[in-house]
Chain A
């Protein structure tokens, strides 16, 4: 029997609705329940039997933050399954979109959701009262990154130019120049952001687990690569052999293990798996004594701040290689087929897997980063809170929330459907 039961009915400052229950007895944490009580939304059920050209429109609506990531992963799966050609140039433009939307998402998480925990404020709104300039800066970065995504995507949220085969519109050299110009303007702000977030005092808690991310042996890839974990490496198509999904009775979100182990995806996992940071980003981190790989869970925040700098530089290099894009028809070579699209969403690996018959989806499987992280979040909490059992409820709640928020969970993504099969 638990002697103490600590409960947070609704965890604030995360995307979606989740609760937490911690049961403590005999000076140890008996049980941690990270529960999700959002209704299931049956995306995988109603996407079935829909024509291939609507799938990214629908799956983009799973979530309001990583719409770019969902659309691109979805399109990649469709293109692979049906043999739709994509010019290299279009791929690079997609990468640019991924980068600006990654930075947008990281900045939202760092300033708006995570920072209040570390400066003793209730919310960003409270921070704005005393430090308006800081909040303005956060908004400036968000605005700039949304502008960049919209240059290429028509709009930043639910971009409307992405289609299997490329883009619906011409992407001009002026738009590409503007993207580059904006990224250059933004760069110093991203360095300042890193300066701020690399100095915060994060919980010291460390834990061993598998880290999983895309890998290409030379960069920190977002769009293409093999899937690498601490102990395994396999192709996107082989994901089903390694990543096993399951459900627990107290949550409406799927969970997942890699070869029987819990695992972490996201910024920290990416940097742990890919030791290929740009020198500027690496030196910045080292200036504050931060090095990857690291087992420190709360350093997910630091990893996001470092990634911002890294990906901004990456985008500037990439933009130099990109040429104007002319829309072109690229019809499917076949209407039956099976395809997997794995990319890195801001919160980590995202997999879309479709099978088609006559151009219509017959099998849909989508594994989101938060579904991958959930088991890991719960185990991290159990270990971290075990060191704090003698503390007050308030301290335990605060520490638990810091860990949960560090993962930047997106509950909406995780409940797109539960499948027990």
Chain B
């Protein structure tokens, strides 16, 4: 969906690549393809099989957005016992729920575009890099870097529970620039000092529960070990 929000830029992109398979916009959809963009994460068996087929039928597989790259919001269901989840069906679900996982749990993923929604600038950057043969790399720095560059006031200093210091940059600190604390929709970057930031938040007076709640929202799959540690602490 967000792909179509590239708007007129799509017409420019079409000079360099064709769209072979796009069920949302096309009647005739073909495989194999050079680059497959996969949005979302499998939530049933059929979708896992579909993902495996897409991997087989593509040279490059890109995980597009939070759900595909980190498990995203749907992975919150993994905080529940299966029994609790199935309770909404009165214990008789049409199929046993499957834990939403990042796509790389099932298949090799070549590139990831983080965020909910992912950044359109990063998508253009990635496609351009692929076309010109440059190596696209994940941003291994925090949202704080971009937030400081924009000279936003620090939301932590205003007493808000912000995950900026441990969250992967690349969004140009959009939320914090709009006065909203970072909810971590892009997941942690590689060297993020998560435990140190948790300590900061606890020292600020947030409860363990509030911190766990915030960490679970978008990246439960990435934070679950540290959440388990925090629970024990």
Please give the residue numbers on chain A whose beta carbons come within 8 Å of chain B beta carbons, in ascending order: 10, 12-15, 17, 37-42, 44-46, 50-51, 54, 57-58, 61, 64-65, 108, 112-113, 116, 122-125, 128, 132, 135-136, 139-140, 142-143, 146, 154-158, 160-161, 163, 168-169, 249, 252, 327, 417-421
Asked if A139 contacts B88 (CB within 8 A), the reply is: no
- Interchain Cβ contacts under 8 Å between A and B, 24 examples: A12-B24, A39-B43, A40-B43, A41-B43, A41-B74, A45-B80, A46-B80, A57-B217, A58-B76, A58-B217, A61-B72, A61-B73, A113-B24, A123-B22, A125-B26, A136-B8, A139-B11, A143-B7, A157-B2, A157-B5, A158-B117, A160-B175, A169-B179, A420-B92
Task: Report the minimal beta-carbon distance from B214 to chain A, rounded to whole angstroms.
Answer: 8
Knowing A58-B76, A139-B11, say if A419 contacts B117 (CB, 8 Å): no
Which of chain B's residues has its CB closest to A37's CB?
Answer: B46
Task: Report the minimal beta-carbon distance from B98 to chain A, rounded to whole angstroms.
Answer: 7
Knowing A46-B80, A54-B213, A128-B11, say if A112 contacts B4 (CB, 8 Å): yes
Bits for B82-94, please: 1 = Cβ < 8 Å to A, else 0.
Answer: 0011011110111
Question: How distant is the Cα of A417 from the Cα of B5 in the complex, in angstroms?
Answer: 27
The list of the 8 closest CB pairs from A to B, nearest first, reads A39-B43, A39-B44, A168-B179, A64-B1, A154-B178, A46-B76, A123-B26, A169-B179
> Is B23's beta carbon under 8 Å from chain A?
yes
> Is B183's beta carbon under 8 Å from chain A?
yes
Question: How distant is the Cα of A143 from the Cα of B94 in the complex, in angstroms?
Answer: 40
Partner of B1, one of A15, A116, A154: A15
Q: How many pairs of residues, A versus B, come closer than 8 Å at their CB atoms? A: 152
> Is B19's beta carbon under 8 Å from chain A?
yes
Partner of A142, one of B4, B24, B80: B4
Question: How distant is the Cα of A37 from the Cα of B87 in the complex, in angstroms?
Answer: 20
Which of chain B's residues has its CB closest to A161's CB?
Answer: B178
Question: How distant is the Cα of A38 from the Cα of B95 in the complex, in angstroms?
Answer: 11
| Given A64-B117, A122-B26; 14 other pairs, CB 8 A cutoff | A14-B24, A41-B74, A42-B80, A50-B213, A57-B183, A123-B27, A128-B11, A142-B5, A146-B7, A154-B174, A158-B117, A160-B175, A160-B178, A168-B179
Asked if A139 contacts B8 (CB within 8 A), the reply is: yes
> Is B79's beta carbon under 8 Å from chain A?
yes
Q: Which residues of A contact B25 (CB under 8 A)?
A: 13, 112-113, 123-125
Asked if B213 contacts A51 (CB within 8 A), the reply is: yes
Which of chain A's residues has its CB closest to B89's CB?
Answer: A420
Range, interface on chain B: 35 or more
Please give the residue numbers on chain B whose beta carbons come within 8 Å of chain A beta carbons, in ascending order: 1-2, 4-5, 7-8, 10-11, 14, 19, 22-29, 42-44, 46-47, 72-74, 76-77, 79-80, 84-85, 87-90, 92-95, 97-98, 100, 116-117, 174-175, 177-180, 183, 210, 213, 217
Task: Report the minimal beta-carbon distance from B29 to chain A, rounded to whole angstroms.
Answer: 7
Task: Report the minimal beta-carbon distance from B200 to chain A, rounded to whole angstroms.
Answer: 20
Partner of B14, one of A44, A108, A125: A125
Task: Report the minimal beta-carbon distance from A405 to chain B, rounded to whole angstroms.
Answer: 11
Partner of B97, one of A40, A140, A168, A420: A40
Task: Report the minimal beta-carbon distance from A68 to chain B, rounded to whole angstroms.
Answer: 13
Asked if A13 contacts B98 (CB within 8 A), the reply is: no
Asked if B77 contacts A45 (CB within 8 A), the reply is: yes
Which of chain A's residues has its CB closest to B155's CB?
Answer: A168
Question: How distant is the Cα of A347 from the Cα of B179 in the complex, in angstroms?
Answer: 30
Asked if A58 contacts B73 (CB within 8 A), the reply is: yes
Asked if B7 contacts A139 (CB within 8 A), the reply is: yes
Knowing A40-B97, A158-B117, say if A116 contacts B27 (CB, 8 Å): yes
Question: How distant is the Cα of A28 from the Cα of B104 in the complex, in angstroms?
Answer: 48
Task: Report the minimal beta-carbon distance from B78 to chain A, rounded to whole angstroms.
Answer: 9
Task: Report the minimal beta-carbon distance from B106 to chain A, rounded to whole angstroms.
Answer: 14
Task: Report the minimal beta-carbon distance from B68 to chain A, rounded to whole angstroms.
Answer: 13
Question: How distant is the Cα of A337 from the Cα of B19 in the complex, in angstroms?
Answer: 50
Which of chain B's residues has its CB closest to A129's CB?
Answer: B14
Asked if B178 contacts A169 (CB within 8 A), the reply is: yes
Partner of B88, one of A17, A37, A417: A417
Q: Which residues of B contact A57 (CB under 8 A)?
A: 183, 217
Q: Which residues of A contact B85 (CB under 8 A)?
A: 42, 45-46
Question: How distant is the Cα of A298 from the Cα of B93 in the complex, in angstroms?
Answer: 35
Task: Report the minimal beta-carbon distance from B39 to chain A, rounded to whole angstroms.
Answer: 8
Which of chain A's residues has its CB closest to B65's CB?
Answer: A64
Task: Report the minimal beta-carbon distance from A112 to chain B, rounded to whole angstroms.
Answer: 6
Question: How distant is the Cα of A418 from the Cα of B220 in the complex, in angstroms?
Answer: 23
Q: Which residues of A contact B42 (CB under 8 A)?
A: 39
Q: Which residues of B contact A419 (CB under 8 A)?
A: 88-89
Asked if B26 contacts A10 (CB within 8 A), the reply is: no
Q: Which residues of B contact A421 (CB under 8 A)?
A: 88, 90
Question: How distant is the Cα of A171 from the Cα of B106 in the complex, in angstroms?
Answer: 44
Asked if A139 contacts B10 (CB within 8 A), the reply is: yes
Question: How distant is the Cα of A138 from the Cα of B65 in the complex, in angstroms?
Answer: 25
Question: How distant is the Cα of A338 from the Cα of B23 in the complex, in angstroms?
Answer: 40
Question: How distant is the Cα of A140 from the Cα of B11 in the complex, in angstroms?
Answer: 12
Partner of A64, one of B2, B23, B179: B2
Q: Which residues of B contact A161 (CB under 8 A)?
A: 178-180
Task: Report the minimal beta-carbon distance from A145 to chain B, rounded to whole angstroms.
Answer: 10
Asked if B23 contacts A12 (CB within 8 A), the reply is: yes
Q: Which residues of A contact B116 (CB under 8 A)?
A: 61, 158
Q: Which residues of A contact B76 (CB under 8 A)?
A: 46, 58
Which of chain A's residues has its CB closest to B176's CB?
Answer: A160
Q: Which residues of A contact B46 (CB under 8 A)?
A: 37, 39
Q: Which residues of B contact A10 (CB under 8 A)?
A: 23
Question: How distant is the Cα of A40 from the Cα of B25 in the complex, in angstroms?
Answer: 23
Q: Which residues of A contact B19 (CB under 8 A)?
A: 125
Asked if B217 contacts A46 (CB within 8 A), the reply is: no
Which of chain B's residues has its CB closest to A46's CB?
Answer: B76
Q: Which residues of A contact B175 (CB under 8 A)?
A: 154, 160
Select the residue from A17, A61, A112, A421 with max chain B CB neighbours within 10 A.
A61
Question: How distant is the Cα of A163 from the Cα of B178 in the complex, in angstroms?
Answer: 12
Knowing A39-B47, A122-B27, say if A140 contacts B8 (CB, 8 Å): yes
